[in-house]
Structure 1
Amino acid sequence: MNLNYGSLVKKAIGLLDTFGSKIQSLDAFMEEALQDLQQRNFILDIFSGCIENKKQLDVVVNAFYATNGKLMSRRDRNQFVMICYLTFSLDDLGLQNFSNMIESIGIKNMYTFLNFYFSNLTSSIKHEWSSIIDAAFVEEHWINPLLRWRPEIYNLLSQLAAKTSQDNPKKKVTTKVTVPQEFSFSKPKPRLLSVPELPPEHEKTKPVPSSIHRSPKEMHILKEIKEKKHQKAELFYEANLKQIRMENPLKSESSEVFEKLWSRLSAGSFSVKLNKAAILRREALCDQQLEQELQRQEWLMQGGLEPSAFLQWQREMLTRDQLPMTEKKQLEAQIRDERIALAREQIMDRNQKTAQQTKEEIAQLMQEIAEERIQEEQKKKELVQQVAESHKNTKEAKEKLKKLKQTIVKEVSEESQELLFQAFEEKQAELCKRFEMIHENHAKQSLPRIRLNPFDDTKTAGHGLLEEMPLAELRLRLDLLKMERQEEEQERRMHILQEKQKQEELLQKRLEAIELHSRALAEAAAIRRTEKQARQELLQQLVNKDDSVLALRKELEQTKQARQQLKQAKKSKAKAHSATHMGTPSQTGLKERSWEELEQSLSRFIQNKL
């Protein structure tokens, strides 16, 4: 099967452009990006290889951009990274497929990059690679295979150079010959036309960013969450309504206490300060109630009948029929809940057993993997120690050089500090002199200037006006006006206070009448409430004597006892399990330490792999 390697390489370069190592992991990105791509294995190998060997490939590409590729665009960086990685797998691809890939990407850029890459392979690139990875590994696995392919690559580069020269042939430049013109007095010199000035180009206004007119994502997410919560609340409310219709639950102690408090509040056991409008409203309501009561009494006096007694009897009969049904429904619902709880506990027991088995299997696997990782880490530590011993001599030489440089810097800094201190003292003396001069000037300016300007309040200004008066007379007149205005304001205040007191007395009388009316209504309501409670107690006694209700209650007690027995059996099993598995404190401490060491080694291995 002949593969189109050029198109596959372009797809892999596109994946490299869209990948960001800081944002997402390699596995997650590959699962998302390669869902619709064909020839996944080839693209996956190239893409993952480029990301795993990123440091080594960046060394070559950065050096190329620093020297020969200064004029190249940074957008083509991933193309150079991909071609650099493909040179490592020339044995698998072959020269023909490799040349097809280069032609599909671009001949000019690839020619300059490959020329730089293979010419500096044994010098700067080898030195940089050996600083990242072991030098022996670099020479065996990377440089020696590339050196074997270098003559064939040079032949390919010569072919590429020939193609570029054929594509861009040099144009022959034809030089114009100057032709002399005859000079004539009769022909005047043509007048130069003024070149029209071009209108100034206005700077293009920056478009308004879309983020201004677009609401942020967080707002949409919050709206969706609110809608979901609202839907859940509606469903919960509907379920509660259905439950209330099916079951008529008994009143709890808190509800009874609340009803008592509400009855006290409605009875008006404490005084509330009301507004004038509220008092008038209450008075109108009381008048309306009195009129209704008078009309009812007139109707009874004329021989009319009240329908309330028949309706009350009808309600009592309905409640007597419905009470046993509601009691049965309540008990059936409780029995159903208890059975569901029993089934749930049995399922939980099964799930716990299966989970414990899987945990034990995972623990064994983790222990085996951790032991392998510890062995690998020990080997790596030995290699690191060998490398560190070789680098010790260079470190000592660097430290000596640092110490020499530090002594020289200290001597120079001490001399410079002395010079700076001398200059600072000279400037400080100059500033002190200036400060003294400024202080003297300020003292002279702050001396008071004595000015004689006698002024008589009792004399006029002498401007010759009709109603001209002295300043003292004007002040006296103003004081008299103020006194008159204050007296007028006090009279007004007294009048307003008297009217307010009259209105308050009237409102107080109305309030007393309203309170009497409300007390009478509260007493009547209390009598009705006691009668209603007595009826409900009678109905409840009838329901308690029903045989079907008693049978359901017995069944409920049996299910509750079975559930409690299950719970006690669980607790006893858990205690026995903890007693058997508990060892000595020293053994448990050793186990915890070993597990901690295994977890730490696993985390280190994963970080190194990433």
Structure 2
Amino acid sequence: MAYYGKCIETVIEQLDRLKPGDSPEQALEAASASLQTLSSQKQAFVLEVLSGCLEYHKLLTTVVDAFYVRDGRLCLWADYNLFKVICYLATFQLGELGFQLFCDIVKSQPLDKMCKFLRFFFSPLNLSSWVKDEWSLVYEAAYVKENWIAPLMRWQPEVQELIKQLEAMLVNQSPLSKTKAKVTEPKEFNLTTPRSRAIPMPEPVPAMAKPRPVPRSTYQQPKEQHLLDKAKRHNRRRAEELLLRANVEEMQCAVPRSRREPPTQGSKKNLQLRFMPRILKTPKLTFYRPNNIPIKLNAAAILREGALYQRQVERELQRVDKLVDGAGDFSEFLEWQKKMQAKDQEEQLAAGECRRLLGKLSHEEAVLARQQLMQGNKQKADQKKEEMTELMQQCAERRLQEERSMRELVERVTEAQKNVKVAQTKLLKGRQQIVQEVIEESRELLQRSAEAAKEEQRRRCELISQLRALETQPMRKGKLVDLTQIPGYGLEGEMSMVELRERLALLKDAQRRAEEDKRNQIIQDKRSKSQELQNVVEQISLCRAAMGRSAALRWEEKKAGAAAPGLRSQDERVLALQRRIEETAAERRRQAPLLHVSAPRTPRAPRAQPRAQLEAQHWLELEQSRERRLRARQRRGSACGRARDLEAA
């Protein structure tokens, strides 16, 4: 039993090493490489069980998962592969191994787990109900019932007797395990008595020097910081006043002259209250809604639109100059362009109709190809059935050969078990000798580490005594500094601290004056820029009004011309595609009775009425989308025409 237990443990280890992405061939190659140290009989048994577990993985996982859900809730997931191997042996190898050998394999494993799993798996209710149904989803139902379920049902009496034996062994085993338990007997250590340690001399307590008090200046802010804060507040107040003035002037410049009104005393007061940095009281305001609200534009948009209109005016002036010099007009070119656009639009409509008919033709061809594929599949199915019968005969022959090899393997295993005890005694003596050597080496290492720790402690004590001696030495606390004295290092431009401060003050005054000049220059630039923007806004308003009137007139003319659209001409490609679709549909209807199935999407068959409705709805939606695209192209063409007219104007 110990031999079979070792074999089963080897199989479980190989199954645990498998990864989800590994193929069965790679797993078997890796297992055969790692099992070279085993005997030939043991290696053959392990590889056969491992290959069977990989081949019937789906069937085994179905049974084991159901066991964990129903009866094995308290079992460990580490025993998953153990149950998987036992299930494989019981289902596929029970007839080849023999019932006695199967009993030995089961008894070599934990009895309580085997008893619970065998009671669940060999239950007649489970085998004839859900196990048969789940396996029939993977293989054919007749094959499952004849080759797997029926043999398991025939082994029911022997397996039930085995389960009773396992239960009896469990009952008899529980009291014996308590009586045979060995109690550990403690023994005293054979240690030498340590010598009495001498009382060490007490170390003198070092006297710590009294620390100096924290200076008062640490918690006080320096005078320079107060001066800097005061200067910041003054500069901020002055900048807010200048910004208020600039904003008031900019708001006046942003309104066109036609709508600008002279600011009254109340409006000035409201603007000042609006842009004040600190509002103490909100005044009561009255808002009036004007009739024409002007569009607010930023500076970039105003300049961009002004430049656009300026380029258009220059282009129009150049065209007038060319006409004055005798150049031709573009009226003939525009008429030719309209004709070509109408022709292009007709071609686009014909191309869209061709695409729609090509889609319908591809649908008919796909239905015809599906019918031909069904005929080919029937022929292939007949060939597959013939091949399966041949494979079943070959499998039966291979099983007979495997039975002969297993008998030879059992004889070899019985001979190999006789030499196991001698090898175990040799291995035990070698391990005891290795343990003695390791104990001696660890004792030497502990002695060396203790000596090194003592030396390190002595060195640290010496360093601490030296540092404390250095701390007790007196040090000079203060140093006299004369701010009016020059250091005298011989550097170029050397000066005292007082002179340096005076020069820094003069430099700050000069920097402040430069900032004021730059601020005034920026305000003047803003005023000039706002005036330029105001002029550009007036020009833009005039150009917009003129272009709006001309565009409205041209739109009315375009609308009157497009009121009577002509009839679309029929294309030869469209007619050819329609003929091909009719021929393909007729061919599909002729082949439908040969397959004894109703052709899909034919309105005459009563069973295919929903498909016919769906097909009609599909083609109706395609027609509607095509009409919508046509209207969108017409609108886009009219919009492009209006844009060209605006550019020409």
TM-score by length of 1: 0.38
TM-score by length of 2: 0.36
